[in-house]
Each structure stands twice: as structure tokens, then as C-alpha cells.
Structure 1
Amino acid sequence: MLAFVDHSSDLNAWAQSLSISREAVEIYAASDVIDLHIDSFIWTRILGYDLKQRHGHGLLGARFYSQVDLPRLREARVTGGIWVITTNPIRPGLSRAHAFTENFAHLTQILESCRDDVAVVRNASEYRAARAAGKHGAFIGVQGGNAVDAAVDRLNDTIVRVTLVHLSNSRLGTTSAPGGGDGGLTAAGRDYVRALNAKKIFVDLAHINRRGFFDALEVSDRSQPVIVTHTGVSGVHRHWRNLDDEQLRAIADTGGTIGVMYHSQFLDGSLLGCTADKVVDHLAHVVETVGEDFASLGSDWDGAIVTPRDMPTCLELPRLVQRMLDRGWKADRIHKILGGNWLRTLAALRP
């Protein structure tokens, strides 16, 4: 079993350790807490970062990496998350597909080796079973659909979502990153969306440029929700990485959800870390624009991000609830944002 502190035995002490109210930890502890984008496995691949070992803040003070590991996630009572296999775009196509197969097996083996604490899950019912058993429900996702190019059959039903592109263009479409251009989704990318629909794998429109975003929605099965797992919103801070209000409405119209990420530069432009209030600013804009049923958490933990300075790792996540309470938000809205909105979206596609 993983070694961690179970704070549920003393909520007062937990609240005091984080300098927040008991109400905040009560709401948090009663919630499904699900993160739509955890990128820690990339450091396992690059540096041998042990996901089963409890780490400190690392060499860079929890900047860029060492924000998450399985013991700390359990201690933070993060009840579910999408663990991501990020594609290396430099590899040639056949090599990428082979690497994806190996990485999928490696990540799955790590998660399944912690059976007392973690269950790999594919749908809403499997997640709820894991939750009832007191386990972390680990979904698996792919960042960069060119991991397998056109060979979508390599994506088995354990894969819950695929981000079509990442930080570079591919044969599928155009990134939103600077220099990507305005090419949108290619014909191969359109076919890829249709193939994901057929396999009931969520189309994730994080990272794609605006034209490609709407190209994907044009061809996607209108009976299936589309998601954006980790983003900021331009209504709070204009940035190439963030979604505008029209894009928020388009995702809500499909019944999907929008995960707000924790990278300070995307939240307010700061380089050394903003505060958790900025995360709530972005969540609030989603709520004000499309309603409280469409905002979720999509941290991008360990995705080379600089987190809010008062929420450097997953252990401080309950502070986010306090910031929501400080704005007068009710428990029902908070429960939805922490995990309920993702579960609604998931159940619509994968009950």
C-alpha cells in the first residue's frame, strides 16, 4: 500500500494546516475531486520519476515538476484523474506508434501495481466502483493524436480522451502555439475525429488553433460531448493558449466540460507564480459565460508549469475551495466543479 496521511480522521487539523475553514475541507472531502490532465508520467519517462514514491518540491521548488505523485494524490484525496501519455513529435511515425504502445504498457503497469490504492478505470461506472472502494480512479489519456497517426485502432478502450494536437503541427492539424499558423484541421484530422467518435473516445480540443477547433466541432458526432481538458480563458487573460467566449459556448453546446489549468503564465501572465484566486477567476468566467455545469479542474500538474504560489502541489488543493467560498459560491457549485461536471460528461459518453 502507498504511505500517506488520511486527513479524514481529523478535518479540523487538516483545515488548520492549510489555514482554511473547516467548511472548506468538509465540502472538499465530500466531493469527487477529479483532475482532467495530470502530466507526471512524462518525468517518469525522462528522469525515472517514481510515481509511487512520495517526493518533495524537487530541485526547482515544485516549479515545472514534482507537483504530484501517487502518495500525495491519495493524501490530497484526489479521487480521480486523467493520466496523460504525451507524444514526442520528433519521433518518426512508426517509431511514435511503437513508443506509444510501450508507454501505455509502462503507465498501466505502474498504476495497476498499486491495486490497494488505485484502479485503472474507463467509464463512469468503473470510476464509481473505485470511489466506493476508497481508491483513486485513474483514467488514461493521450496528448498529441499523432502518437498513432491514422492507426486509431492502436487506441484501446482504456484511452478515455485524445488531444488532437499538442505544441507542434502534425498531419492532423495546427497547434495554437506561436508559429503554428492558421491551417486548421487537415482531412486526416477530420477522419481522426470521426474515428475517435466511433470508438467513444473523447475529442479533446486543448492546444488546437481556433480554426482547427471549429473544424473539429463541424465533423464531430453531435450526439457526443467534446471537451477541453486544460486551458485558460481569454475573458480573464488573453493568451494564445486560452479559449475565447465563443469557444466556451461551443463546448457547452455539446454537453462537454472545460478544465481550467494552473499554469500562472496562462492565468495572468506572471512568471514566478500567481495565486489560487486566479484559477477561480478563470473558473468564474466559465460559469458566468456558459453556466456552472461546464467548468472543471484540469491542472496540467507536472506539465512544466509554474503553479500558484499558494497552491504549489496537489496537497494544497483544498485552498481552492476556500477561495470559492470567499466569493459566496455554494457547496453544490463547488461539488460540480471539483468533479461532478466531468462525471456528467463522462456518463453521457461512457456510462
Structure 2
Amino acid sequence: MKEFCIIPKIVRMDTAEEFCKTYDIGKGDLLFVSGHMYEHFFEKHTEGAFVVNYRKYASGEPTDLMVEGIYKDIQDVDYERVIAVGGGTILDVAKLFALKYISPVVDLYEHKIEPIRDKTLILVPTTCGTGSEVTNISILELTAIHTKMGLAVPELYADEAVLIPELLDGLPFQVFATSSIDALIHSIESYTSPKANSFTEMFSLKAMEIILNTYKEIAAQGGAVHEILPGDLLLASTYAGIAFGNAGCAAVHAMSYPLGATFHVPHGEANYVMFTEVYETYQRLLPEGKIEDLNRHLAAILDCDEEHVYKQLEKLLNHILSKRRLRDYGVTEADLNDFTETVMTKQGRLMANNYTELDEQTVKQIYKKLW
């Protein structure tokens, strides 16, 4: 039985310049990076590389249209390595370009195309949230079939994940908020997953500790404390990525996907909308079990009693990102039925990792409470 694995080699470097020189980035490299990041850190050190500025193709969350647009533009480019520098959008999209066959990308996600890896893949995160650099998962909004789906296959693992704290300098607070909350939820969902084990739990617990203690400092001081802790937060994100890459995420992510795909809500924000209500539901359905261990750990960090841990957690998170109701995004009551159907029919990969079973009626009830 598979217990635990970390496939990518994980490297830490101080600067982008050191990274470019060490990896000799140039001819034969397909470099995914935003225009701003390229101009600020990479332009002088990557001569000869073919640069893909993903913002040219779309803004926001990754989509099939973005992938198809890039694919059309690079068909005649000869490259041996894919190097991606960015947040979850860039990393998730770039993973696909290490495969031999990419288009039509919807067929890839519906397993009509066999994923065959034929390029070297190096991933460099610039946010503190997705953990994509160490997972074999790529999430896309598939506009052609009106849903958000994940492709999780071994061929999407990076060869190397490179952590460069310098690249988090100047990270906008909103991006910090949504990405780090995503990482926190990765750590919590992987901890209560039935696939969790003592190895994944170690990474989950450490990620929770780093992120929540950072939030406590921000709440206490009222400033952007994250700006002085980029190394710690980058590690926390990677720890959480290692944990959920092995143990999986669950209902919080599954239920957030329809909101993100339909109303273009940032991924971490959509997760936060669902988060505490899902865990309070778990608590009601199965109070005696792994969730007891989670509650003890969270209560110790938050300095509260276990009975009120989710209320205290939400109070702290609201210092980082204000939670909104579903109706505030334009969701109608009729949408709740569609959301529920999508979760129950298209998100089985994630729902299989729930702490306890959530049936269709329970999922709909959660949505209604959040509406």
C-alpha cells in the first residue's frame, strides 16, 4: 500500500538570479512567467528562452481557453524543459506543456487522451498557497463543459520544485490572503482525509501552525506581517502541498469549484466561503474521531476551547479576508441545485476524501446555509 512520497526534488535558493544561473535558463526552455515578474527578475538572465506571459491569454483562474491559446502559439517552438514561475494559475497550466499531447485539453481531463510525459518540468512558486509545485494535480475551468475539474496523474509531477523567498517580495495582500487560506485548507482537509497517515499529518500540522500564527500576528499588529515572513509562508504552502498531494483534499474544495467556475471567485476565497460550514457539519455528523485531534490542535494555536474552535477560527480568518455569503456573488437559489448536482456527479475524486460521508441532501443544506 502506498504510504507517502515526495516526487519533486525540492531546492531552496535566495535569489532569482542565482536560480537562472544555476539552471542555465536559455535556448530550449519554455519559460512561463508574468510580464511584471519577467521584467523585474528574469529578463536579464534568460536570453534565448521562449517566454510565455500567461496574462496575455487571460486573467484570473486557469481555463481550457488559456491552455488552447498558448498551445496554438507555441506549436512550432522546440523546447526540452518547461520552467514555470508564478502562482497556481501559471503552475497548473505549465504542467500540461510537459506532456506530449495537450489538445484538445478537455479530452485530456476526461481521460480520452493518455498523458505521456516527454519534457523536463521545473516549478517555482511565487505565492504562498497552492502547493502546486509538489503535487501531480492541475485544476482548470473547462468552459467547454461548464465545470471546474482536476487532472491528477503521476505525469504532472515536477522534476524539481524551487523555492525562492525573494519572489514573494511585494506580494499584494489580497493575493497573500486568498493563497494562504487555500494552503491552510489544504493542510486541514488532508489532515482529516481517510488517506492521511503519520507522514502527511506531520506536514499538515506544521503548515497549520505557521499560517495561523502568522494570521495571529497580523490580527494583533494590524499590519502586513506576511511581508517579513516570506520564507516561512513559502515553506508552509509547500508543506501543505506535500500533505494534500498524498492525502487529498475533500468537500471544501469540491463545493468551492462551482462557485469559482461560474462566478469567477478566486480559488482561496471560494474555499473560505465553504470551509467552516463544512467542518461544523462534519462535527455534527461524526464528533468522535479524527476531527477531535484536529480541534485540539487548532484550539491550542488559537487559545480557545475546542467547543468554539470554528467560530474562533472564522473570527481570525476575517482579519485576513472577509467572508461573504453566496448571494453576495450573485448566486441564486436555483444555482444551489446546479452546484449540488455538479459536486455529486463531477467531484467524486475529492468527495472520496471527506472526513465522513456527505450525501446530496447534506451538500444542498450546506449551500443553503451559506446562501
Relative to the length of structure 2, the TM-score reads 0.28
Larger radius of gyration: 2
Relative to the length of structure 1, the TM-score reads 0.29
Question: Which has the larger share of helix?
Answer: 2
